[in-house]
Amino acid sequence: MNDSFLIICRCEEVTLGQIRDAIRQHDCSARETKLRTRAGMGICGGRTCRPLLDRLIMPPSGDSTSDLPLKIQPPVRPMSFAEWGQST
C-alpha cells in the first residue's frame, strides 16, 4: 500500500508518508514530528493517532527516543456532536 494514502491522523488528515518524510528529512523526535506534521493536534488531541506516532518514532530496539513523550490532551470541556453542530 502507498504510504501517501494511509491516513494516520484523521483530524488533521496527516498521512503515513508525510510522517515518515518528516522523520527521515529532519531526524525528528516525537514532539518535533507532531509540530512539523500537525499529527495529534486535531480535535481529538491525539487520542486516535498518538499510539501510532509513538510506534513510528520508536527505534527497532524498542527504546523510546523521545525525551518529552507525547501526551493525550482531552478537550477543556467535552461537547456532544449535537452541541458542536449548533455552535458552528
Cβ count near 48 (within 10 Å)? 15
Length of the chain, please?
A: 88
pLDDT digits 0-9 by tens, 34-72: 899 999 888 888 888 888 888 887 765 555 544 455 666
Band the pLDDT of 18: cuts 50, 70, 90. Answer: very high
The three three-digit cell numbers of residue 39, written as one number = 499529527
Band the pLDDT of 14: cuts 50, 70, 90. Answer: very high
**Amino acid at residue number 20:** R
Band the pLDDT of 31: cuts 50, 70, 90. Answer: confident
